[in-house]
């Protein structure tokens, strides 16, 4: 079953909202709260001065815009990716998703690497990454080979790629709307987290360069994304509302359990609460989906949300430092300038690379042209 026109409008609009939420979390919260980290990542001086009042608005322990926005992104993927699978074999589905992710991602990453290198030249600071770290990040395997993330957000793409693989492996079951298949995946993911916590993959802990960290964290986010798949099942008429609510509660409980026993246990309960907020907003808008009108501003933001999400952190930090430390511009005006610069770069990447990669994927692997009612959402998934 394909959704009627407009029934996924809310998900498309939420994509833009989520990208802006994550950007605000980083360019307002992380920029000030984790000053040494931001300076090291961008090869710039540490930002001096007191925290502006805006910081408290975006980084409250019980409502942080960063994990809230990521939670929304994951639920959107869970909802829309099975529609893409309906038009593909498992193999062509994976190829289409790789074409969707890698060209825009690699272009954005190389721009960010160039920006950081330029920062080092300008501020006379060493470039913080070796060649293998750059290559590993380009391939999105940095989490598997013990290298740090460069753009600070590509860990979510690693989760996405694992999710695509899982969906491809159970493609037939997802097409049928099998709840049992989702339950099996969720239990297997929880088992990986438990094994990592027991030290099966190496010493457990919060160190992101350890394979045990990857095994302890990524599976729990896949559990959360499966909630989005349940919404997909409901939209297609495979399950009723009672089953949706019960399944979402069960997967949500397992998600929290995995969080508590994994490497991110030190973030409990504050950060998982933000994912709960994302689920509540997503669920409320899903319930009202037929009454949500089109919005040109949100639709435009959604169209560039993927490249915006990719470049906002390092480019945004760099522009902020340049305007504040060199141009003596006040932080509010510098923040506006950084947002505009990131938006302009995102739009350029969308026009020159992202739109082309979507066309390549359609010509090469789609069984048929995607229906207009869902093409915007499925083909702009982060």
Name the percent of the chain lying above pLDDT 90.
75
pLDDT of amino acid 373: 36
pLDDT value of residue 6: 53
Tell me: pLDDT of 367 over 80. Answer: no
- State yes or no: pLDDT of 247 exceeds 80: yes
Gap between the Cα atoms of 362 and 356, Å rounded: 10
Q: State the average pLDDT over residues 89-97.
A: 89
pLDDT for position 7: 64
- Report whether pLDDT(369) > 70: no
| Closest to 88 (Cα-Cα) out of 198, 162, 174, 158 | 174
Q: Is the pLDDT of residue 363 over 60?
A: yes
Residue-wise pLDDT for 25-74, tens only, equals 999 999 999 999 999 999 999 999 999 988 988 877 778 999 999 999 99
**What is the mean predicted confidence (pLDDT) over 310-325?**
97
| 134-138, 204-208, 253-257, 341-345, range with the lowest pLDDT | 204-208
List the single range of 5-9, 13-17, 291-295, 332-336 with lowest mean pLDDT: 5-9
User: Environment class of residue 199 by beta-carbon count within 10 Å: exposed (0-12), middle (13-18) or buried (19+)?
Assistant: exposed
Q: What is the tens place of the pLDDT at every residue in 194-240?
A: 999 888 887 777 776 677 888 899 999 999 999 999 999 999 999 99
């Amino acid at each position: 079953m394909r959704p009627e026109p407009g029934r996924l409008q809310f998900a498309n609009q939420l994509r833009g909202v989520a990208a802006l939420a994550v950007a605000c979390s980083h360019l307002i919260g992380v920029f000030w709260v984790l000053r040494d980290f931001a300076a090291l990542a961008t090869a710039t001086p540490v930002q001096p001065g007191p925290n502006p009042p805006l910081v408290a608005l975006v980084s409250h322990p019980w409502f942080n815009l960063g994990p809230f926005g990521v939670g929304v992104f994951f639920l959107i993927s869970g909802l829309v990716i099975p529609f893409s699978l309906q038009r593909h074999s498992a193999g062509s589905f994976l190829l289409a998703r790789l074409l969707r992710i890698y060209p825009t991602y690699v272009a954005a990453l190389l721009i960010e690497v160039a920006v950081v290198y330029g920062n080092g030249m300008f501020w006379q600071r060493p470039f913080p990454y070796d060649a293998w770290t750059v290559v590993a990040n380009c391939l999105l395997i940095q989490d598997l080979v013990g290298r740090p993330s460069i753009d600070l957000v590509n860990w979510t793409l690693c989760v996405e790629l694992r999710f695509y693989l899982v969906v491809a492996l159970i493609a037939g079951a997802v097409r049928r709307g099998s709840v049992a298949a989702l339950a099996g995946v969720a239990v297997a993911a929880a088992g990986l987290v438990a094994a990592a916590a027991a030290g099966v993959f190496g010493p457990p802990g919060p160190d992101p360069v350890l394979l045990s960290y990857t095994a302890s964290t990524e599976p729990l986010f896949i559990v959360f994304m499966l909630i989005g798949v349940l919404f997909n099942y409901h939209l297609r008429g495979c399950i009723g509302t009672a089953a949706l609510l019960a399944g979402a509660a069960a997967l949500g409980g397992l998600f929290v359990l995995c969080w508590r026993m994994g490497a991110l246990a030190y973030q409990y309960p504050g950060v998982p609460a933000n994912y709960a907020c994302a689920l509540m907003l997503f669920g409320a808008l899903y319930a009202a989906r037929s009454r949500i009108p089109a919005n040109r501003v949100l639709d435009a933001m959604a169209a560039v949300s993927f490249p915006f999400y990719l470049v906002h952190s390092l480019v945004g930090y760099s522009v902020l430092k340049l305007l504040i430390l060199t141009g003596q511009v006040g932080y509010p005006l510098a923040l506006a300038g950084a947002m505009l610069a990131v938006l302009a770069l995102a739009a350029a990447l969308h026009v020159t690379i992202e739109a082309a990669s979507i066309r390549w994927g359609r010509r090469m692997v789609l069984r048929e042209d995607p229906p207009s009612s869902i093409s915007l959402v499925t083909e702009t998934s982060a």
